[in-house]
Amino acid sequence: MDPDRAALTRTHSRSGAILAIAPLAVVALLVGVPLITLVIIGASLADGDPGGVLVSGSTWRILGYTVAQATISTVLSILLALPAAYALQRLRWPGRRTWLAMVTLPFVLPTVVVGLAFRELLPFAGTTAAIIVAHVFFNVGLATRVIGGIWAQLDPRFADVAMSLGAGPMRTFTTVTWPLLRPAVLAAAALVFLFTFTSFGVVLIVGDPAWPTIEVEIYRLAVQNLDLSAAATLAIVQLVIVVIALAWSATLQRRTTSERIVTEVPTRHRPRSVVDYATIAFTALLVIAVSLPLLTLVIGSIRVGDRFGWDFYVEVFAPSDLTTRATPAWEALGTSARYALIATAISVTLGMLGAIAVAALRRSATWVDTAITAPLGVSAVSLGLGLLLFSIYGPVDLRGSWLLVPLGQALVAMPIVIRVVLPVLRSIDPRLRDVAATLGAGPLRSWITVDGPLALRAGAVAAALAAAVSLGEFGATAFLVRADTPTVPVQIVRLLGRPGETNLGQALALSVILVIVTALIITLAERVRPARGGGW
Say yes or no to pLDDT of 405 above 60.
Answer: yes
- The two beta strands, 307-308 and 303-304, are antiparallel
Of the ranges 257-271, 336-350, 515-529, which is most confident? Answer: 336-350
Question: pLDDT grade, residue 83 (50/70/90)?
Answer: very high
Residue type, 166: G
What's the CA gap between 287 and 141, in Å, rounded? 10
What's the CA gap between 357 and 14, in Å, rounded? 9
Question: pLDDT grade, residue 171 (50/70/90)?
Answer: confident
Say yes or no to pLDDT of 532 above 50.
Answer: no
Of 325 and 238, the structure prediction assigns the larger pLDDT to 238
Of 335 and 323, the structure prediction assigns the larger pLDDT to 335
Pick the CATH number of 3-527 from 1.10.10.10, 3.90.1150.10, 3.30.980.10, 1.10.3720.10: 1.10.3720.10
Cβ–Cβ < 8 Å for 498, 324: yes
Q: Over pLDDT 90: what percentage of the chain?
A: 7
Classify residue 475 as exposed, middle or buried by CB count within 10 Å of its CB (0-12, 13-18, 19+).
Answer: buried
Backbone φ, ψ for residue 178 (5° rounding): -60, -45
Of 428 and 85, the structure prediction assigns the larger pLDDT to 85
Residues 471-502: tens digit of each pLDDT: 888 777 877 887 777 888 888 878 877 777 88
Residues 283-310: tens digit of each pLDDT: 999 989 888 888 888 888 898 888 888 8
Q: What is the pLDDT of residue 392?
A: 74
* Candidate from 129-133, 188-192, 302-306, 443-447 with smallest mean pLDDT: 443-447
The vertex-246 CA angle with 363 and 80, nearest 5°, equals: 125
**Whole-prediction pTM value?**
0.75
Question: DSSP string of 412-478?
Answer: HHHHHHHHHHHHHHHTS-HHHHHHHHHTT--HHHHHHHHTHHHHHHHHHHHHHHHHHHHHH--TTHH
Beta bridge pairs of residue 262: 154
Q: What is the pLDDT of residue 75?
A: 95
Classify residue 471 as exposed, middle or buried by CB count within 10 Å of its CB (0-12, 13-18, 19+).
Answer: buried
Say yes or no to pLDDT of 80 above 80.
Answer: yes
Question: pLDDT grade, residue 439 (50/70/90)?
Answer: low
Residues 194-203: tens digit of each pLDDT: 888 888 878 8
Cβ–Cβ < 8 Å for 425, 361: no
* Candidate from 14-18, 123-127, 302-306 with smallest mean pLDDT: 14-18
Q: Over pLDDT 70: what percentage of the chain?
A: 76
Q: What is the pLDDT of residue 136?
A: 92
Question: pLDDT grade, residue 458 (50/70/90)?
Answer: confident
Q: What is the pLDDT of residue 259?
A: 46
Cβ–Cβ < 8 Å for 333, 464: no
Q: N- to C-terminal Cα distance for the chain?
A: 33
Every domain of the chain and the residues it spans? 3-527
The vertex-469 CA angle with 467 and 470, nearest 5°, equals: 65
Residues 353-398: tens digit of each pLDDT: 888 788 777 666 677 777 777 776 676 777 777 777 777 777 777 7
- Cβ neighbour number for residue 286 with a 10 Å cutoff: 23
What's the CA gap between 132 and 66, in Å, rounded? 11
Rg, C-alpha atoms of the chain: 24
Cβ–Cβ < 8 Å for 475, 417: no
Q: What's the whole-number average pLDDT of the chain?
A: 77
Backbone φ, ψ for residue 307 (5° rounding): -140, 175
Residues 348-351: contacts with CB under 8 Å, at least 24 apart? 348/417, 348/459, 348/462, 348/463, 348/466, 350/22, 350/23, 350/26, 350/410, 350/414, 350/417, 351/23, 351/413, 351/414, 351/415, 351/416, 351/417, 351/418, 351/421, 351/462, 351/466
Of the ranges 50-64, 163-177, 277-291, 492-506, which is most confident? Answer: 277-291
